[in-house]
Amino acid sequence: MLNTAKFTVGLSVLLFASAGVAFAQQDVSKVNGSVDVGSGEVRADVSTVNGSIKLGDKSKTDDVTTVNGEIELGNSVASKEVTTVNGAIKLGNNARVSNDVTTVNGSIFVADHGVIGGDVATVNGGIGLVRSEVGGDVATVNGDVTVGIGSHVKGKLIVKKPTNNSVLPISIGPNRIPRIIVGPNAVIDGELRFEREVKLYVHSSAKVGKISGAKPVSFSTPTAPAN
């Protein structure tokens, strides 16, 4: 025979727990203003239009998106995808992004032991990796790239040719030659393809795929030559 009192109490506890989970994983969305996700918090999509986004250490989210603003992920953050248009992206130590990390006008930096499942790409901005892993390609048009010490790019490294169009104009200075550095013990499995002039420096301990469009300068010092 069903004990009504016990059933009611049990159901109430279950509904309260479920509501707590739903609340913890709710979307955070704004139009104007920055978004901060606290350390250890769990959210679904986090987005704004005009504002920055900051995720605290050990937080977890799905897609992180803004249009005009920077994105900063703390240490040991887990996310599905990180995207902005006008702004830099910075990932802390041990950050995990299962898909792409992309911006148009801004730099991308991945700190120690970051893992990106997809591509790391920008148009007007540099890219820096430190002991990090990228499952897809690393690509830019007008920016320096450093595949730093101990980093592993499983796809290609691409510096694309600048193009001008009415939708997304790209302005390239006539004397701006990107510096591409592949540091000590770094690995790039795929092709290194350069569709424009670059200065390419490859450490003697690095392992890279086929190089097209540039002549590498080998170095064995901890940092690449200044020029």
Is residue 5 scored above 80 in pLDDT?
no
Is residue 127 scored above 90 in pLDDT?
yes
Q: What is the pLDDT of residues 177-216, one digit of tens each?
A: 999 999 999 999 999 999 999 999 999 999 999 999 999 9
Q: What is the pLDDT of residues 48-81, one digit of tens each?
A: 999 999 999 999 999 999 999 999 999 999 999 9
Share of the chain above pLDDT 70, in %: 84
Contacts of 146 (CB under 8 A, 6+ apart): 126, 127, 128, 129, 180, 181, 183
pLDDT for position 148: 96
pTM: 0.85
CA distances to 152, 191, 226, 227 from 217, in Å: 20, 17, 12, 11
Which residue bears the tokens 């930096």?
A: 109
Reduced to 3 states (helix: H, G, I; strand: E, B; else coil), residue 87 is coil
Give the span between the Cα atoms of 11 and 14, in whole angstroms.
5
